Structure 1
């Protein structure tokens, strides 16, 4: 069957694609000229601010108001801060401060910075209520475990980002905070019934809608209490029913990455894309590694589904229209000012100390390694920029006696990240605390576990500014910069 140029263009209008390099390849520029909605940038597309600003300018010239997006949450999930760590604290730190005006100001500055770099859409904030401490995918990306707190800060973050000049995208609908699995690898389960869902998970999304959020991103989660055997992203009852009809959201509905195992493992990426459109999604975020051939396969699957009558032309036209409305909103947005010191100032406000810290004598700093989450990637964390002799250890292989000997005449600081999730880390830190109870522990993840020690510092995140806020408490010079 010959290609239908009109259908191809409509299909293109639903695609948010990745690409493989620091420069825009021809297939991306041609795709944008052919109606493709936009791109999503990842670590592999960003070398530094100058390079990404040039890249985004090139992308912006390829079509009228393409969506140039990224996952920039601040805190642990950062793309523009990939080499040094983010200059903004993440949601958990802002939730710990619990000042909605501050959250709005932080996100206004972040949005303004992104807009200056040429971005028009930010796949943030996370509106998930993190009620499960063992959650491997959310954690410090959430403002907290209380629905009311998460709601007011989600609304503030949405307002701030959009005042900064970029379209916000609240995620992961209908809520990823009560899971114990990572949807990058499998299909997580949320065991909430309809009543609990409305009381807990959906409140932040309602707040985001009331704040005028331009887009909402779906979660690849299963809700058995609602009768779902597959992911919410592919469920008309969730996307068209719950979000569009019951909550009254009239903006663009975006999928989480279609290449994630939680949505496409059993049916493949092209079929998952088709089913997401049928369910009511408007914009398909294809993921990190779906390049030219994969994009062509998705486009072909969409047009074939229309030809077969599985996907109505009206539904595809509606998705393309909603995406065009989002693009039009991003065009020529006024931008706010970047507040130069707000990231560090807010991280300092978030840090908490339990116990008696006192003054430390030339501390020996030891970090216990923790694997990065897939959403986070390889981003620097820890205190080594302020304490150059810092050592990074594997808890399973570390020798407590050797660590204590190295710090025999000096204070000892042990840095962990989400220690509650790693038994080897807890066992090793407990042993150190038993042998030397006057040591100090710094937790740079969720402070869900606290060992018996002299003092416990919680930063509520591992961004560069979170690290600096802890380092200053430990005696590093205030205002010291990362090299």
Structure 2
């Protein structure tokens, strides 16, 4: 029994160096999670996956986060749609096929575990990390679409990890940065956060990822990832789940600040997790630290051998069920999936307010922020120049100005220079609106301004402008928004509850 098989680790770069290969083989970890820094050309990444399995054994699990929308690791294949964009479609068959699209792009490389989809119910507009990663604010809709997505992925050969159990949708703290607390009763959690996860358990989804969140109604001391009451008492005992339980990354500050040096690893295994996700983001030392902590716990009896064996048995069973044998993603399949992704994007664009149509021959102004920053699970964002280049293909007379978070002068100058031209205010950002964005939005209603909410759909309800919501900033989303500006067709339905009136 090798305790390292319960650890899923990460790597610094796109190739497995000799030193790294020896490190992996010496410890024989259970698998690897790949990030954007690891995924380059298809040939190079496929070779990396082969090298990983040569080092760890061919039952190693190779994982990544290919959620769709903003959280994507492989970008050279059709992009699965944003979950909330699927919520705007309200079509479980589309969700099932979207999961399969994600899987086809991963299994092509030999990746057999996708840490997706998010089954978090987006009931808190101020949530800094979930947002459009959720299918919406209705628990029943999230359950229907999320489970369909997961089963579509698994039918295509890639194990799904529904996350973040028992629910990250009603937090105002990002667990990458600190420990959130959800102060809800068991009854309230059962009616909202837990409903999608219970549906996933009933459907037999292959794995569940834990949340680094404190739920005082269940455990007043330990976050869910480390809580026997949550993982064993609720998930295993009350709900009868027998699939793989994997932690969210243990380097996230909600855990690492409180349980340093890897001591969280034996605690989560004792609590009921089967796989501990350990990310060093370029450093291999954290992997050894977590393994040492597990080995110490085995020696002193705080981690029982039969509990570890149970975890390893589940992981071995998952590897047999999802062996990761590469399945080529053919050109015909990619063409078909790409066309479907574009169709979903057009069908999900949602109108908020009365959005005027624009003529392709019109002079149109575009106002965009400087390249937005990213953080947490996000790897990239949309720059203003890229958006302008895309829209200019539809509006050849488009004129563009970037503005900074603290200075609207460039945008104001463009508005003054073309006082009769309609203006598009784009918000390709996940985070809170800046004072400059609010200032510019106040200038535009009188001149027929339109808000393009290209990432966070809550922004559409926060600014006093008619808006088109795309639920994402990938090429299919941008093309869909441009077409909606011209045709007026925006058939999506906002999958968010109306804001409360105070």
1:341 to 339, 342, 356: 339
The ranges of structure 1 where at least 4 consecutive aligned residues each deviate by more than 4 angstroms after the TM superposition are: 332-338
Counterpart of 1:182 in 2: which secondary structure?
Answer: coil
Is this contact kept in 2: 1:75–1:86, CA < 8 A? no
Structure 2 Cα separation of the partners of residues 419 and 315 of structure 1:
40
Task: Report the aligned-residue RMSD.
Answer: 2.4
Structure 2 Cα separation of the partners of residues 113 and 420 of structure 1:
29
Deviation at 1:27, TM superposition (A): 4.9
Structure 2 Cα separation of the partners of residues 332 and 311 of structure 1:
30
Give the structure 2 partner of residue 359 of structure 1: 358
Structure 2 Cα separation of the partners of residues 86 and 268 of structure 1:
39
Structure 1 Cα separation of the partners of residues 254 and 77 of structure 2:
28
Instruction: Work out whether 1:76 is the aligned partner of 2:70.
Output: yes
Is this contact kept in 2: 1:164–1:334, CA < 8 A? no
Counterpart of 2:121 in 1: which secondary structure?
Answer: coil
Structure 2 Cα separation of the partners of residues 162 and 120 of structure 1:
9
Q: How do 1:264-303 and structure 2 match up within 5 A? A: 264-289=256-281, 291-303=283-295
Is this contact kept in 2: 1:154–1:207, CA < 8 A? no
1:471 to 478, 482, 485: 482
For residues 59-103 of structure 1, the C-alpha deviation after alignment (integer angstroms, 9 at most, x for no partner) is 23331131111011010111112xx89723210100011111011
Counterpart of 1:387 in 2: which secondary structure?
Answer: helix
How high is the TM-score relative to the length of structure 2?
Answer: 0.87
Gaps of 5+ in 2: 393-398, 488-502
Distance 1:266 1:33, change over 3 A: closer
Counterpart of 1:263 in 2: which secondary structure?
Answer: helix
Give the structure 2 partner of residue 114 of structure 1: 106
Instruction: Work out whether 1:309 is the aligned partner of 2:304.
Output: no
Deviates more, 1:423-432 or 1:252-261: 423-432
Give the structure 1 partner of residue 33 of structure 2: 40
Deviation at 1:188, TM superposition (A): 0.6
For residues 166-223 of structure 1, the C-alpha deviation after alignment (integer angstroms, 9 at most, x for no partner) is 0000000000000000000000111211111111111111121223211100000011
How high is the TM-score relative to the length of structure 1?
Answer: 0.90
Deviation at 1:390, TM superposition (A): 4.1
Deviation at 1:153, TM superposition (A): 0.6
Distance 1:106 1:288, change over 3 A: farther
Give the structure 1 partner of residue 494 of structure 2: none
Q: How do 1:93-104 and structure 2 match up within 5 A? A: 93-104=85-96
Query: Aligned residue pairs: how many?
Result: 465
Q: How do 1:62-461 and structure 2 match up within 5 A? A: 62=55, 63-81=57-75, 87-289=79-281, 291-331=283-323, 337-338=333-334, 339-353=337-351, 354-360=353-359, 361-369=362-370, 370-380=372-382, 383-387=387-391, 390-399=400-409, 400-417=411-428, 421-434=432-445, 436-448=446-458, 449-453=461-465, 455-461=466-472
Gaps of 5+ in 1: 1-5, 477-483
Counterpart of 2:208 in 1: which secondary structure?
Answer: strand
Structure 1 Cα separation of the partners of residues 435 and 263 of structure 2:
41
Give the structure 2 partner of residue 479 of structure 1: none
Counterpart of 2:212 in 1: which secondary structure?
Answer: coil
Q: How do 1:48-67 and structure 2 match up within 5 A? A: 48-62=41-55, 63-67=57-61
Counterpart of 1:216 in 2: which secondary structure?
Answer: strand
Deviates more, 1:372-381 or 1:154-163: 372-381
Structure 1 Cα separation of the partners of residues 26 and 199 of structure 2:
36
Deviates more, 1:197-206 or 1:394-403: 394-403
Is this contact kept in 2: 1:92–1:461, CA < 8 A? no
Deviates more, 1:69-78 or 1:371-380: 371-380
Structure 1 Cα separation of the partners of residues 400 and 40 of structure 2:
26
Distance 1:46 1:147, change over 3 A: same
Structure 2 Cα separation of the partners of residues 290 and 378 of structure 1:
19
